[in-house]
Structure 1
Amino acid sequence: MSKPVIRTLLPMACDGVGPSFTCLNILSGAVRAGYDVELFVNRRRLNWLDIPTRAAFPGPLSWLPYKMIESKATSILEKQFMSAIKPGDIAYLWPAVSLEMHKALYEKKIPVVLEGINTRMASAKRILDTAYLEAGLTPSHSITDERIAEEEEKYKYTSAIFAPNRNVELALEDAPSNLKILPASYGVNTKIPVPEPTYEDKDALTFMFCGYACIRKGVHLLLDAWRDMPPPHKLLLVGDVEPALMEKYRDVLESDQVEMIGFVNDVHEWFAKSDVFIFPSLEEGGPQVTYEAALHGLPIIASPMGSGRLHERADTMIVVEPRDAKALFEAMQEMLSVSTRARLGQNAKKEANYFDWDRVGARRASMLLELF
């Protein structure tokens, strides 16, 4: 009997950023471990990682403006996928696959596995609506009742879902009984060269946040707590800032103790310049920046959402409820101790190896073959 093929449907531009970056790394780990994988994408402009791939718009067609081809490409791709999939295969679906596709695979008796890149939408909307309300701001997110209803309907035709965060699991506890929750994680490329961390007794520490600095990531809570942080400590915001926060927290953001770096292509140079990584996210799937910080040996302060699976490894970070401004401030104060920073940073760096993409991809593929 032939081994099942994990046929993966990613109806988006596969250019090595965003979800496609994550998907490519997971599948690469599975391929290197000897599992049979095939990837279906709208387009793929790069030959990054050796993964068998079919594109709806291949070759020179991939250079057409994406908005021009997106809808047509998705339609073509889903037809290609249905023609290729056969009994014994596993359909591994990423977000944006149509509800009709879920139903068709279910009727064909093909096991469907979803990727839970974010928290279940019904849960995420409650979290975000509450956060914006508490901040005195109008909700600014794209989760609608219609999108929630479609996601819940998709669950009915799904065999399993990867949950890259304990909180993703918890949000799915009352999902349909047919939906098996597969505890998983995202990862980090441990093979890239990074400088050896040093832990010095300094008068001025650099705390770093990385990502889109927005309500969803809890940055407003970080800025509230940062008001009490005495100079000369500095906060780096590596990533763009949500306009509503830029207005509401202008006094903090434009102070001498905060540096807004903006969007960068290479975050690793900023990890290397920092002493502490802080990630107070309120809603998250699998926080890859947390694993990247660990690779650099940075001591980490994170929310339960922002901690990913790393906090399940012993003594790797301080986990704090970010809505508790006092607790968040006290966690930052704890990091002033060089021994605390060294202990947490060294432990996090050691445990980062468990989250190497090759290991992550191999674990996931193994789980699927054991399940089906």
Structure 2
Amino acid sequence: MDGTSSAESMRLESLLTLPFTGRGVSYSCDRVVSAMRAPGVSPHVTLPYVMDGEPSVPFHAILPRQIGRPGRRISPGLVLGLTENAFLRRLPRGDSDTVAYIWSDTSPGFARSLRERGTVVVREKVNCSKALARRVLDDAYRRIGHAPQHGISDEALAEENERLALADAIFCPSECVAQSLVELGVPEEKLLRTSYGFDPDRFASDARLLPATDGVTFVFVGTICVRKGAHLILKAWARSGIKGRLVLAGPLEPAVETVAAQELARPDVLRLPFVNDVAALYKSADVFVLPSLEEGDPLVTREAAFCGLPSLVSPMGAGQVVQDGQQGYILDPYAEDDWVEALRSMAAQPGLRQRMGAAAHERSLDFTWSKVGVGRRRTLTNFLSGRSSPEPRNTRPWITSMAAVGA
């Protein structure tokens, strides 16, 4: 097959350099890889260790939890290297039926080791480029008078640029992610546009987490941080004068705790820790809010949509579920007057909430993990089928422009 992977037979060797927790990136990795299973497609995941539960696909954890957890805390580079080496040992050199599917960041030299093996390399870009994230977050922290907390260094930008340059293809779960890579100069033909999904079975119960209240309940789910615009929704809520409550569920970033201390102390603002039964939380709410400044494709938005909640979201928070004026409203996260007006409009119009919530539920059905998996498998198969022999390793002129953008 001249160095290309077969559309009919595929070993999908996945690498997750994070521990498996059943949440966040590890959850998305497991659900995506599992949903891509089909006759002729054999998935496997290599990961450092398992914290909670187990992946639903065949996997190899290189360390037991009792060693992996303290080891990663004491020497993260060592655990990362062990995980990468274990993954490399699973890759036959030049095997045209094997795809190396990489989730999360890897060490600087790992991408070059993959290329030397002649394996097709596909990366999952969970969020927007680090270059865009740093630019957005530098501005966000400047606006609130705080030093940036993102920790994205020039070295991290250069390493990501190299990882992207040495990949054959990159799964982009949203148009925001794809455009952030186009901005870096990544060729369009390398970008595989897709999405994330959700599991309807997780939301089968009609249980409610919160007691009913006299008014409308707006809910924010995720880390209560600057990146997700939590301080912005708190400011808009305080101005809105709505009878009801704003519920924020997730860990609280100190910067938000400081800059929005007055709003967080309001009696109509309820802050919850991490919520395991997020379905019961959504079913206690009337409207979902997410004014994120930088995201990939937020799972919480489609989960809220499936539960019949209309949304007030930023372009980053909308993912692919919310269309402006149909399943909710898409607003500039910094347009506080627009947020205040939208909050008041949703609160005052139960018919609008019902109509948009029904549209949100209907649209969410296109994004179950099973449907997303079929679409991703088809996208990858089409890419592999149309791929010619691997290009010479030294003909990647666009990496220079990527480095310039990231600087």
Q: Report the counterpart of residue 66 of structure 1 in structure 2.
A: 69
Partners of 2:195 and 2:59 in 1: CA distance = 23
Distance 1:275 1:90, change over 3 A: same
CA apart distance, 1:130: 0.4
Q: Report the counterpart of residue 101 of structure 1 in structure 2.
A: 110
Q: Report the counterpart of residue 198 of structure 2 in structure 1.
A: 188
* Residue 254 (1) aligns with residue 265 (2): yes
Distance 1:172 1:249, change over 3 A: same
Q: Report the counterpart of residue 6 of structure 1 in structure 2.
A: 12
Identity of aligned residues (%): 31
Q: Report the counterpart of residue 371 of structure 1 in structure 2.
A: 383
Q: Report the counterpart of residue 128 of structure 1 in structure 2.
A: 137
CA apart distance, 1:278: 0.4
Distance 1:32 1:342, change over 3 A: farther
CA apart distance, 1:371: 0.7
Q: Report the counterpart of residue 343 of structure 1 in structure 2.
A: 355
- More deviation, 81-90/205-214: 81-90
Q: Deviations over 1:42-88 (max 9, x none)?
A: 1235664531112212xxx3333513155444323322222222322
Q: Report the counterpart of residue 390 of structure 2 in structure 1.
A: none
Q: Report the counterpart of residue 48 of structure 2 in structure 1.
A: 42
Structure 2 residue corresponding to 1:225, chosen from 221, 226, 236: 236
Q: Report the counterpart of residue 345 of structure 2 in structure 1.
A: 334
Structure 2 residue corresponding to 1:111, chosen from 120, 123, 126: 120
* Residue 138 (1) aligns with residue 155 (2): no
- More deviation, 171-180/81-90: 171-180
Structure 2 residue corresponding to 1:18, chosen from 17, 24, 27: 24
Partners of 2:186 and 2:55 in 1: CA distance = 36
Distance 1:219 1:314, change over 3 A: closer
TM (normalized to structure 1)?
Answer: 0.92
Q: Letter of the aligned partner of 1:82 in structure 2?
A: L
Q: Letter of the aligned partner of 1:141 in structure 2?
A: H
Distance 1:289 1:153, change over 3 A: same
* Residue 167 (1) aligns with residue 176 (2): yes
Partners of 1:114 and 1:334 in 2: CA distance = 41
Partners of 1:33 and 1:333 in 2: CA distance = 51
Partners of 2:324 and 2:338 in 1: CA distance = 22
Contact 1:9 1:97 in 2 (8 A): no
Q: After superposition, where does 1:297-312 map in structure 2 within 5 Å?
A: 297-311=308-322
Q: Deviations over 1:3-25 (max 9, x none)?
A: 02111011221131221111011
Partners of 2:39 and 2:345 in 1: CA distance = 41
Contact 1:207 1:278 in 2 (8 A): yes
The 3-state SS of whatever aligns with 1:237 is strand
Structure 2 residue corresponding to 1:75, chosen from 81, 92, 95: 81
Structure 1 unmatched ranges of 5 or more: none
Partners of 1:3 and 1:9 in 2: CA distance = 19
Q: Letter of the aligned partner of 2:288 in structure 1?
A: F
CA apart distance, 1:233: 1.9
Q: Letter of the aligned partner of 2:198 in structure 1?
A: V
Partners of 2:119 and 2:34 in 1: CA distance = 23
The alignment's C-alpha RMSD in Å is 2.2
Contact 2:30 2:56 in 1 (8 A): no
Structure 1 residue corresponding to 2:62, chosen from 36, 56, 59: 56
Q: Deviations over 1:78-123 (max 9, x none)?
A: 2222222232211110112223221122122222111111110001
Distance 1:339 1:33, change over 3 A: farther
Q: Which runs of 4+ in 1 moved over 4 A?
A: none
Distance 1:12 1:179, change over 3 A: farther
Q: Letter of the aligned partner of 2:192 in structure 1?
A: L
CA apart distance, 1:203: 6.2
The 3-state SS of whatever aligns with 2:123 is strand
Structure 2 residue corresponding to 1:360, chosen from 369, 372, 384: 372
Contact 1:313 1:351 in 2 (8 A): no
TM (normalized to structure 2)?
Answer: 0.84
Q: Deviations over 1:123-166 (max 9, x none)?
A: 11000000111122221112111111110111221111111121
Distance 1:364 1:286, change over 3 A: same
Q: Deviations over 1:230-279 (max 9, x none)?
A: 14221001112221221222211111121111222222221111111000
Contact 1:188 1:357 in 2 (8 A): yes
Structure 2 residue corresponding to 1:207, chosen from 206, 218, 222: 218
- More deviation, 26-35/211-220: 26-35
- More deviation, 258-267/29-38: 29-38
Q: Report the counterpart of residue 397 of structure 2 in structure 1.
A: none
CA apart distance, 1:368: 1.2
CA apart distance, 1:36: 1.8
